[in-house]
């Protein structure tokens, strides 16, 4: 048939043509392969090299290098000489902005040193915006060590070296809007474990919490309150008019103690906890009405960057007058919310506080950490916010000489 199908196996097969290699074609493939390998190698070297393919001719070698000529007229064989080839790198080089100084050592090596160049006013501008108000919530339970000093009484709040005050550091941030604002302060924390726990758990973070220095586990409760977003105050025990029948507790500031002892008592109180924006009085009608007793206390608070909140229960208080004299951020409470301890009465007081705030723009209300007070305030806040009222930390409403 003339095909391989009819031929015996292995016989009469057509011989395959012998392949003839083209030397020029083989050489071309080899050169192409070498070029590809070279490109890959150069790319890898360019990626791994610190300076890549670009080497600025003006860029110096950091390591010591041999001097080009041992007889260089700038060299001094007796001792290492600085200033060889010193100068400033041109803009755009890898070391732009640096002063370059080369030192010729005894063995003939040249060591190159780089140092920052003085600004000529053409670099980036640094703008100081002043102290930042508030604290990162993740760090709110931790004190800023720059705002503390060691004393025989313990760690006391101070103004930081950059002018940052505890008032600024530990204040609760707010919107900055000009709408109706109310600050609510619930005091007496630390005196009852269950009451303290309930207040921290149930009250929104917008409520400022006051810690009584006579309380227990204050540092623990302070940290829990700060982690929950609360701004806090320290309640200072002060002598009332009916003392000693009405005793404010240990370490109370009293008119008859004199300046030195009252300052010692003040510092014992201030050292109980950290991370507070300021203090408020606990009782203290008589002490607040005595200028000689109150003046050194106000002066000390002003130097420490703390605010003073007067609970407004004493009509004879001189706190506002003396606070103004010593640049102490100061505020007055407009209402005591729980003088009658019932939920309905407290809610009525809160509604009255709202009317004051709408009339004046702001208002401050104070209460104690009773169950009735905490429950009424917690429920009222949600309703008030729905009516466009912003609940803020008390530091946002005090009269601050640095802000006004």
Q: Can you read off the two tokens belonging to residue 95?
A: 């070391």
pLDDT at 44: 57
Residues 108 and 147 in one domain: no
Give just the sign of the alpha carbon dihedral 351, 356, 362, 363.
Answer: negative
pLDDT tens-digit series, residues 268-307: 999 999 999 999 999 999 999 999 999 999 999 999 999 9
Residue 85 lies in a domain: yes
Question: Rounded to an integer, what distance in angstroms lies between the CA atom of residue 274 and that of residue 277?
Answer: 9
Q: Where are the alpha helices (DSSP H) in 96-217?
A: 166-169, 193-202
Q: List C-alpha distances in Å: 75 to 63, 113, 170, 352.
A: 18, 17, 61, 88
pLDDT tens-digit series, residues 119-174: 555 554 444 444 455 667 778 889 999 999 999 999 999 999 999 999 999 999 99
pLDDT at 22: 54
Residues 87 and 195 in one domain: no
Residue 72: pLDDT band with limits 50, 70, 90: very low
Question: Rounded to an integer, what distance in angstroms lies between the CA atom of residue 226 and that of residue 144?
Answer: 13
pLDDT tens-digit series, residues 1-34: 444 444 444 444 455 454 455 555 555 556 566 6
Residues 98 and 170 in one domain: no
Q: Can you read off the two tokens belonging to residue 278?
A: 């300021």
pLDDT tens-digit series, residues 27-57: 555 656 666 766 666 665 555 554 444 444 4
Residues 99 and 178 in one domain: no
Which residues touch 282 (CB under 8 Å, ≥6 apart)?
187, 212, 235, 236, 237, 238, 248, 249
Q: How many domains does the chain have?
A: 2
Q: Rounded to 10 degrees, what is the CA torsion of 129, 132, 137, 142?
A: 120
pLDDT at 112: 76
Name, of 62-66, 176-180, 236-240, the range with top average pLDDT. 236-240
Show the domain range for 98.
Answer: 78-116
pLDDT tens-digit series, residues 198-248: 999 999 999 999 999 999 999 999 999 999 999 999 999 999 999 999 999
Question: Rounded to an integer, what distance in angstroms lies between the CA atom of residue 268 and that of residue 133?
Answer: 27
What is the pLDDT of the chain when averaged over all its residues? 82
Residues 142 and 112 in one domain: no
Residue 55 lies in a domain: no
Burial class (CB in 10 A: 0-12, 13-18, 19+), 93: middle
Residue 313 lies in a domain: yes
Residues 86 and 143 in one domain: no
Residues 245 and 392 in one domain: yes
Where are the strands (E) in 162-314, listed by range? 181-189, 208-212, 232-238, 278-283, 307-310
Question: Rounded to an integer, what distance in angstroms lies between the CA atom of residue 322 and that of residue 314?
Answer: 15
Q: What percent of the chain has pLDDT over 70?
A: 70
Burial class (CB in 10 A: 0-12, 13-18, 19+), 192: middle
Residues 107 and 192 in one domain: no
CATH number at residue 220: 3.20.20.370
Which residues touch 79 (CB under 8 Å, ≥6 apart)?
106
pLDDT at 59: 41
Residues 93 and 163 in one domain: no
pLDDT at 24: 55
Residue 71: pLDDT band with limits 50, 70, 90: very low
Residue 98: pLDDT band with limits 50, 70, 90: low
User: Which of 8-22, 319-333, 373-387 bottoms out in mean pLDDT, i.e. has the lowest?
Assistant: 8-22
Q: Where are the alpha helices (DSSP H) in 125-258?
A: 166-169, 193-202, 218-227
* pLDDT(62) > 60: no
Residues 244 and 318 in one domain: yes
Paired residues of 73 in beta bridges:
none
Burial class (CB in 10 A: 0-12, 13-18, 19+), 374: buried
Phi/psi zone of residue 163: left (φ > 0), alpha (ψ -120 to 50 degrees), beta? left
Residues 164 and 94 in one domain: no
Q: Where are the alpha helices (DSSP H) in 20-141?
A: 23-48
């Amino acid at each position: 048939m003339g095909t391989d199908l009819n031929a015996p196996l292995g016989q009469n097969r057509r011989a395959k043509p012998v392949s003839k290699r083209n030397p020029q074609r083989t050489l071309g493939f080899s050169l192409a392969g070498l070029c590809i390998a070279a490109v890959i190698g150069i790319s890898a070297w360019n990626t791994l090299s610190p300076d890549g393919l670009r080497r600025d001719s003006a860029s110096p070698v950091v390591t010591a290098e041999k001097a080009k000529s041992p007889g260089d007229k700038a060299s001094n064989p007796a001792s290492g000489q600085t200033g060889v080839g010193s100068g400033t790198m041109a803009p755009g080089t890898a070391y732009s902005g640096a002063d370059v100084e080369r030192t010729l050592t005894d063995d003939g090596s040249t060591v190159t040193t780089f140092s920052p160049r003085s600004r000529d006013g053409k670099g980036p501008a640094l703008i100081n915006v002043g102290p930042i108000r508030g604290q990162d919530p993740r760090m709110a339970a931790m004190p800023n060590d720059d705002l503390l000093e060691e004393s025989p009484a313990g760690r006391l709040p101070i103004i930081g070296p950059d002018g940052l005050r505890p008032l600024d550091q530990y204040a609760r941030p707010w919107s900055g809007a000009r709408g109706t604002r109310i600050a609510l302060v619930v005091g007496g924390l630390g005196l009852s474990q269950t009451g303290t726990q309930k207040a921290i758990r149930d009250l929104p973070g917008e409520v400022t919490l006051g810690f009584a220095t006579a309380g227990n586990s204050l540092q623990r409760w302070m940290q829990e309150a700060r982690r929950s977003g609360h701004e806090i105050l320290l309640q200072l025990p002060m002598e009332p008019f009916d003392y000693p029948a009405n005793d404010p507790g240990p370490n109370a500031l009293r008119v008859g103690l004199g300046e030195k002892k009252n300052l010692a008592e003040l510092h014992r109180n201030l050292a109980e906890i950290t991370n507070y924006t300021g203090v408020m009085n606990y009782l203290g009608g008589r002490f607040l009405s005595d200028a000689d007793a109150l003046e050194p206390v106000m002066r000390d608070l002003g130097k420490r960057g703390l605010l003073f909140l007067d609970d407004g229960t004493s009509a004879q208080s001189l706190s506002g007058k003396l606070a103004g004299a010593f640049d102490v951020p100061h505020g007055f409470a407009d209402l005591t919310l729980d003088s009658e301890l019932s939920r309905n009465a407290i809610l009525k007081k809160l509604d009255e506080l709202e009317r004051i705030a709408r009339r004046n723009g702001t208002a401050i209300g104070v209460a104690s950490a009773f169950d009735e007070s905490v429950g009424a305030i917690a429920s009222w806040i949600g309703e008030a916010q729905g009516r466009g009222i912003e609940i803020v930390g008390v530091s946002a409403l005090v009269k601050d000489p640095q802000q006004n």
